[in-house]
Structure 1
């Protein structure tokens, strides 16, 4: 005799299996795409960078797959999650290609790729809503992909001397610093309500970082753009931290 709830658990796991298999296929496809794109990149990606980018892709795929396994309510993975994974793959290609010291012409190509990655940020959510595949996993995958894109672009901007280390830390690492702080102070890890503000500021953040990839954007214009975007990001995190602190005091 099975224990109460066992049948439901078995059914839930069976429903997750197709989505997990689809995710594995998508991950393998984007892995092959990344490997091929790096091999064809005219900047001659050094072997350690090539291997590192592919290893990072495996890590991203493994982390996302673990999140999917922890609880995904739909049988189909959906194009929405495949697009999010493609955005993460694009970020890793950008990181590797930027390390080759691209020419101005190549930098324009990478700027276009970053802009396409930004544009797809709106596509995955739209697809999820249209197909009825909205999920906590998809939302988290999207947020973490945004953070990865921002980290790569901020690293490129500070390496090019377009913004300073402080702005780069805010624009590229704020999400990771916040998560680290939550591990030390659990009240910072409490759930926050959805806010359009966060998404809007994230779009501005990545749009500014994408613009900083373009060769003509430099000097005072780059500095002011970086400072403005960093101020928006810092202000958004400050609002959330204040809300979490108030919620902690009410408990």
Structure 2
């Protein structure tokens, strides 16, 4: 496989750093501080969580088409360039607000120093995910979450499922090779800042105005 431009630049940068360190005799924390941040973790990560109420994929690959000449859905991926980000399409069923949020998130990422990790997920319509942390190392990304009810002023449909796309902005210029990923979480969240004193009508069944509420799932989003 031909090395990517990012990989070549990274190798060249490491060679220069090594030469300088050898000449100056620098070692320890000072020398390590100039190395690329290829491993790390954040407990308050920057992440957007758009949802598709139809249950279909949120993100599509504009660079490829399937047998029906439609874009393929996006799986887990490390987005490492603005060119690749431009190829990601948001499904038409996703709300305008979420579509704008995704586009802005991708456009505002500095791909020389940051990487976007994309992961699909699913949740019941009346629930959302709270992301607790994300960690990364070469070829692998993991995150931790819990799920809770959405606020009372958010409309949802009882017992229906929606699709999510989780987009994390990682403060590291990673290679696009992804060999593994993982997530762990629980439901409901043990603590929450959302107050549920009144939940009276945010959950409905199509054709029925009866108010319902629901909780219990393995994933969700933040809105």
Normalising by structure 2, what TM-score? 0.25
The structure carrying a bigger helix percent of its residues is 1
Q: Which has the higher contact order (CA 8 A, sep 6+)?
A: 2
The structure carrying a bigger strand percent of its residues is 2
Query: Which protein shows a greater Rg?
Result: 2
Normalising by structure 1, what TM-score? 0.23
